[in-house]
Amino acid sequence: MIFGDFKYQKSVKKLTATNLNELKNALDFISQNRGNGYFVGYLLYEARLAFLDEKFQSQTPFLYFEQFLERKKYSLEPLKEHAFYPKIHSSLDQKTYFKQFKAVKECLKNGDTYQVNLTMDLFLDTKAKLKRIFKEVAHNQNTPFKAFIENEFRSILSFSPELFFELEFLDTALKIITKPMKGTIARSNSPLTDEKNRLFLQNDDKNRSENVMIVDLLRNDLSRLALKNSVKVNQLFEIISLPSVHQMISEIEAKLPLKTSLFEIFKALFPCGSVTGCPKIKTMQIIESLEKRPRGVYCGAIGMVEEKKALFSVPIRTLEKRACEDFLHLGVGSGVTYKSKAPKEYEESFLKSFFVVPKVEFEIVETMKIIKKDQKLEINNKNAHKERLMNSARYFNFKYDENLLDFELEKEGVLRVLLNKKGKLIKEYKTLEPLKSLEIRLSEAPIDKHNDFLYHKTTYAPFYQNARALIKKGVIFDEIFYNQDLELTEGARSNLVLEIHNRLLTPYFSSGALNGTGVVGLLKKGLVGHAPLTLQDLQRAAKIYCINALYGLVEVKIK
């Protein structure tokens, strides 16, 4: 388990809670035993229901902590290449969001609330493994409250920069600091524009009013516990710059009586006002009536308790994979006030998801053969190429035109098109070169089948770089790859087809192979079948073929 700058080891106890009594017992146990190691875990946003209703009973734990005896410094390993690039789609469309936004505005107009943190769920599809995802995202979002937690109920990958509260156990009192975040604007690659954005955020009335509302709410929450005259605001409207956004934060401090328990602190403060709105209880009721979904760990709390200190984050910028689901949840949202505009708030919500996307520039590629048919130039297998190109554009959220391949062709041969994220299509014409080699070789090392880039043809393919250099020199026709399960996958420029027992077989695409237009055509006609193929199958095959869009089905030999 990872939290902040430490990896926690030697787990000796697990604590869970599904109702108020179990919640109190768990937090009291942590308070009483904080000198015996480290307690690391989380509260889901739904834990709020137990604080509001002592009869509330959850089907699955809304609190989970583990007690560890040891911890060691955690440092990120160097990142050689990217494997994580998820497909992101929303749980609700813009029309539904605008409808919810309108309902919030009506509540604001009626004076039921002054600010509502309206959120939505984004779903992320990926082939990448959770540990790999955490490693990659942490390289860009190495926040002080990063967390990696796995248990039988859910897996959590948090990159939150927001402090919920920090607690110091002093000799005569408890010192508590909270730093709510409210106010966001995008970063820019241009230093001039970036500074302009930062200054705008710092001086914007709308963002300042949102921030000060939450500061007042937290001051009020703390005053219920704090020693007289000890609540103070140390910092208002400070701007911190994260890799993808600028954020406005403020800092509130208070002193609490020495005997104040963790349970009492959470009962007074949870959930953090920055992710609800104010007044808190009424606003949470409005949120529940509109969102109609569990937020999960998003907007809850993740943290660590030790002998002298407790530290909890507000889990924003947090990925969650729930048991029995094969996709990741990413909650995003924004604070809606009377001055808010629906399109801008919708845009701000999506802006907060950009932190998961790797900072790597690439284009989607399609390499096609141009033939002459009835004295007219045409792209061979055009519809298959177009479909694959558009599927990848949708996956990576690249702009594209539905008629992107409907243009006048210049000459026979090879056409390579590159589509960038803004929807610009670049065309490159080449002569189809005669084959220099009919030999293949087996890769010396396996590839990771859990790499999202393997399943799309792009200019980002470091895993095939060396092989393609040999192909370009004419040393080999192709290099055949295999994955960590020792299953054959594909070549660097072609799909693999083996003749075994008079049947033509190709690896499953899920093994780590691109859905090449040539092999897909043979599969649709029933001329080739899918099978899990091993390294031994390559040796025992009666014939070995490689197939791509330019050369078709080519019989090859192992070098």
Helix (H, G, I), strand (E, B) or coil at 324: coil
Which residue reads 């919708």 in tokens? 346
- Least Cα distance to 311 among 526, 147, 113, 135 occurs for 147
Other Cβ atoms closer than 10 A to 474: 11
% of the chain exceeding 70 in pLDDT: 100
Which of the residues 162, 210, 320, 363 is marked catalytic?
162
Q: Tell me whether residue 153 is exposed, middle or buried, using C-beta atoms within 10 angstroms of its C-beta: 0 to 12, 13 to 18, 19 or more.
A: middle
**How does pLDDT run across 237-257, given as a tens digit for each residue?**
999 888 778 888 999 999 999
Instruction: Give the span between the Cα atoms of 499 and 501, in whole angstroms.
Output: 7
Residue spans of alpha helices (H) in 185-277: 191-203, 205-223, 262-269
pLDDT of the residue at 209: 83
Instruction: Give the span between the Cα atoms of 408 and 434, in whole angstroms.
Output: 26
pLDDT of the residue at 187: 84
Helix (H, G, I), strand (E, B) or coil at 200: helix
Among 200-209, 537-546, 550-559, which stretch is predicted with the lowest mean pLDDT? 200-209
Q: Residue 200: phi, psi to the nearest 5?
A: -60, -45
pLDDT of the residue at 436: 94
**174 token code pair:** 């408890």
Instruction: Give the span between the Cα atoms of 258 and 306, in whole angstroms.
Output: 16
Between CA 368 and CA 373, with CA 370 as vertex, the angle to 5 degrees is: 140
Buried b or exposed e, range 377-412, using 16+ CB within 10 angstroms: eebbbeebbbebbbebbebbebebeeebbeeebeee
**How does pLDDT run across 408-427, given as a tens digit for each residue?**
999 999 999 999 999 999 99
Top pLDDT among 240 and 489 is at: 489
Instruction: Give the span between the Cα atoms of 84 and 135, in whole angstroms.
Output: 10
Kindly indicate the confidence band of residue 212, based on its pLDDT and cuts at 50, 70 and 90: confident
Instruction: Give the span between the Cα atoms of 483 and 467, in whole angstroms.
Output: 16
**How does pLDDT run across 358-383, given as a tens digit for each residue?**
989 999 999 999 999 988 999 999 99
**How does pLDDT run across 453-468, given as a tens digit for each residue?**
999 999 999 999 999 9
Instruction: Give the span between the Cα atoms of 272 and 215, in whole angstroms.
Output: 11
Kindly indicate the confidence band of residue 547, based on its pLDDT and cuts at 50, 70 and 90: very high
Instruction: Give the span between the Cα atoms of 405 and 399, in whole angstroms.
Output: 14
Report the DSSP beta bridge partners of residue 166: 177, 311
Kindly indicate the confidence band of residue 136, based on its pLDDT and cuts at 50, 70 and 90: very high
Other Cβ atoms closer than 10 A to 515: 17
**543 token code pair:** 């014939």
Name residues whose C-beta falls within 8 Å of residue 460's C-beta, 6 or more positions apart in sequence. Answer: 82, 360, 362, 453
The pTM score is 0.90
Instruction: Give the span between the Cα atoms of 255 and 235, in whole angstroms.
Output: 17
**Measured CA distances, 266 to 42, 43, 274 (Å):** 12, 10, 15
pLDDT of the residue at 241: 87
Q: Average pLDDT, stretch 492-506?
A: 98
**Measured CA distances, 12 to 5, 39, 40, 66, 124 (Å):** 21, 10, 12, 7, 33
Instruction: Give the span between the Cα atoms of 366 and 400, in whole angstroms.
Output: 14
**How does pLDDT run across 283-327, given as a tens digit for each residue?**
999 999 999 999 999 999 999 999 999 999 999 999 999 999 999
**How does pLDDT run across 73-107, given as a tens digit for each residue?**
999 988 989 999 999 999 888 999 999 999 999 99
**Measured CA distances, 178 to 206, 265, 474 (Å):** 22, 12, 63
Instruction: Give the span between the Cα atoms of 289 and 282, in whole angstroms.
Output: 11
pLDDT of the residue at 116: 94
Q: Please say whether the beta carbons of 100 and 108 come within 8 A.
A: no
Q: Average pLDDT, stretch 516-532?
A: 97
Say whether the peptide bond before residue 358 is cis (omega within 30 degrees of 0): no
Between CA 488 and CA 494, with CA 493 as vertex, the angle to 5 degrees is: 55
pLDDT of the residue at 438: 98
Instruction: Give the span between the Cα atoms of 134 and 317, in whole angstroms.
Output: 12
pLDDT of the residue at 211: 87
Helix (H, G, I), strand (E, B) or coil at 522: helix
Other Cβ atoms closer than 10 A to 495: 27
Q: Please say whether the beta carbons of 450 and 414 come within 8 A.
A: no
**431 token code pair:** 């002569």
Instruction: Give the span between the Cα atoms of 194 and 171, in whole angstroms.
Output: 45
Which residue reads 């953090």 in tokens? 272
Cα torsion at 268, 274, 154, 132 (round to 10°)?
-140
**Measured CA distances, 222 to 214, 248, 303, 479 (Å):** 12, 21, 19, 64
Please tell me the total number of residues recorded for the chain in this structure.
559
Q: Element (H or E) spanning 249, and its range?
A: strand 245-257
Which of the residues 182, 280, 321, 449 is marked catalytic?
182
Q: Average pLDDT, stretch 191-199?
A: 90
Give helix then strand counts, H and E, for the chain.
Answer: 13, 30
Say whether the peptide bond before residue 271 is cis (omega within 30 degrees of 0): yes
- Least Cα distance to 83 among 450, 420, 457 occurs for 450
Instruction: Give the span between the Cα atoms of 299 and 47, in whole angstroms.
Output: 11
**Measured CA distances, 371 to 308, 390, 492, 494 (Å):** 74, 22, 24, 20
Active site residue 182: yes
